[in-house]
Chain A
Amino acid sequence: MSTAVTGTATTDRRRSFMAFTTTWASQIGITTAFVLLWLTFIVLAPDTFLSQRIYQSFAQTTPYFAIVALALTMVIIAGDIDLSFPSIMALGMVGFVSVWNVTGSVELGVVASLAVGALAGLFNGLIVTLVGIPSLVVTIGTQFLFRGLALVLVGGKSFALVQTRQSPTYDILVGRVLGIPMEFIWLVLAAVAVWVLLNRHRLGQNAYVIGDNRHAAQLMGVPIRRTRIVLFVLTGLAAAFAGLMNSLQVVNFYPSMGDGYLLPTLAAVFVGGTSVFGGRGSIWGTFLGAFMIGGITAGIVAVGLTDFYTKLIYGAVILISVSIHAVLQRRFEY
Chain B
Amino acid sequence: MNGLDPRVADALARLPDYLGQHVVISVTALLLGLALSLPLAVLATRRERLRWPLLAFASLIQTIPGLALLALFYPLLLGLSALTESLFGKGFSALGFLPSVLALTLYSMLPVLRNTVTGIEGIDPAVKAASLGVGMTSRQSLWMVELPLALPVIMAGIRTSAVWVIGTATLSTPVGQTSLGNYIFAGLQTQNWVSVLFGCVAAALLALVVDQLLALVETGVAARKRLRIVAGAIGLLLVLAAALVPGLSRPAATYTIGTKTFTEQYILASLIQDRLRANGLSAARRDGLGSTVIFNALASGEIDAYVDYSGTIWANHMRRTEIRSRDEVLNELRLWLKRERGIEMLGALGFENAYALAMRRDRAETLGIRTIEDLAARSSQLAIGGDYEFFDRPEWATLRTAYGLTFRQRRQMDSTFMYGAVVNGEVDVISAFSSDGRVARFDLLVLEDPKRALPPYDAVLLLSPGRADDQALRRSLKPLVGTIDVALMREANLRADRDQDKETPAQAARWLWEKIKENE
* A and B pair up: no
Interface residues of A (CB under 8 A from B): none
